[in-house]
Amino acid sequence: MPVFERDDTQIWRRRTTRENMIRWFGWLAGLVVFAWCWQIISASTTWFFVWDAPRIANDIWTRATPPRWEYITQLGRPIWDTLNIATLGTIIALFLAVPVAFLAAQNTTPSKLLIRPLALLIIVSTRSINSLIWALLLIAIIGPGVFAGVIAIAIRSVGFCAKLLYEAIEEIDHSQVEAITATGGSRWQVMAYGIVPQILPAFAGIAVFRWDINIRESTVLGLVGAGGIGLQLSASLNVLAWPQVSLILIVILVAVIISEWVSAKVRGAII
């Protein structure tokens, strides 16, 4: 906070001239980077299509409405599969995430030098890669189908759940753990009585939260062949059956809204 003197009056500025320069330079650099990015995007865009976009959008809209409602009878099984992919995937992920989280948390890890980095590596690598990519990989390995979807969702969710869970473990009240240790409880008893009750609400919250996200993700897994309603979507898109596409999109939207409502309800009940 510099104060200048000029003509016997004190002038207050929030930043020094030098700070101002650095700031302006920063903004300028940002602008240049953005302009360059835009340049690249623009270069690989066929602008003719873009100018034509309103007409095409309108065209798609007229073709897609009204949705082909009777197609819903064929969507029962795909919806059921989608639900299963999300739910089973979440359950498997939670079983795997719990041990990983305990190994990754500073206060419960058996070895900070060896095991903790390994657990963190599992968390980062599973979390960084989208479930669609996991699905691609699993389809290449074990073939297309619901099973690949379940495993893809499970792998993707392990890192996410384990990260939130280990943060919750690191935030627990240590004196409660100390008290259980002081009674002469074994390592496992300390865990069951001192740590688990404290993280149980967080665990339940994470489970429902991730289930909600997984419902969303499992609706599109079918695009790469991993089962669920996405299969129908991709089939309809391939034959340009827009009335079916619009119906499927409506179904997905409803599913997303319902799952968000359920997860909000359950979280409300826990907390």
Residue 16 in the binding site for other proteins (CB under 8 A) = no
38 touches other proteins (CB under 8 A): yes
The rounded Cα 50 to chain-centroid distance in angstroms is: 31
Pick the closer one to other proteins by CB: 89 or 105. 89
Residue 63 three-state SS:
helix
The binding track of 157-176 with respect to other proteins, each residue x by CB under 8 A or -, is: ----------------x-xx
User: Which of 92, 235, 249, 262 lies at the binding interface for other proteins (CB under 8 A)?
Assistant: 249
Q: Beta partners for 9?
A: 6
Amino acid letter, 162: A
Residue 258 binds to other proteins (criterion: CB under 8 A) = no
Rank residues 21 and 50 by Cβ distance to other proteins and give the closer one: 50
Which of the ranges 2-10, 93-101, 105-113, 252-260 carries the binding residues for other proteins, by CB under 8 A? 252-260
The verdict on whether omega for the bond into residue 66 sits within 30 degrees of 0, i.e. cis, is yes
| Number of residues in contact with other proteins under rule CB under 8 A | 77
Q: Which stretch binds other proteins (CB under 8 A): 1-9, 16-24, 99-107, 196-204?
A: 196-204
Nearer to other proteins, 72 or 92 (CB): 92
Give CA angle at 42 (39, 47), nearest 5°: 155
Which residues are CB-contacts of 249 (< 8 A; sequence separation ≥ 6)?
Answer: 233
* Residues of this chain, 121-140, that bind other proteins according to CB under 8 A: 124-125, 127-130, 132-133, 136-137, 139-140
Amino acid at 67: P
Torsion of CA 208, 210, 215, 221, to 10 degrees: -160
Burial class (CB in 10 A: 0-12, 13-18, 19+), 203: buried
Least distance between other proteins and beta carbon 229 (Å): 11
Nearer to other proteins, 3 or 41 (CB): 41
- C-beta of 9 vs 39, nearer to other proteins: 39
**Residue 96: in which H helix or E strand, if any?**
helix 76-104
**Pattern of binders to other proteins over 52-91, x per CB under 8 A?**
-x--xx--x-------------------xx-xx--xx--x
Cβ contact 161:130 at 8 Å: no
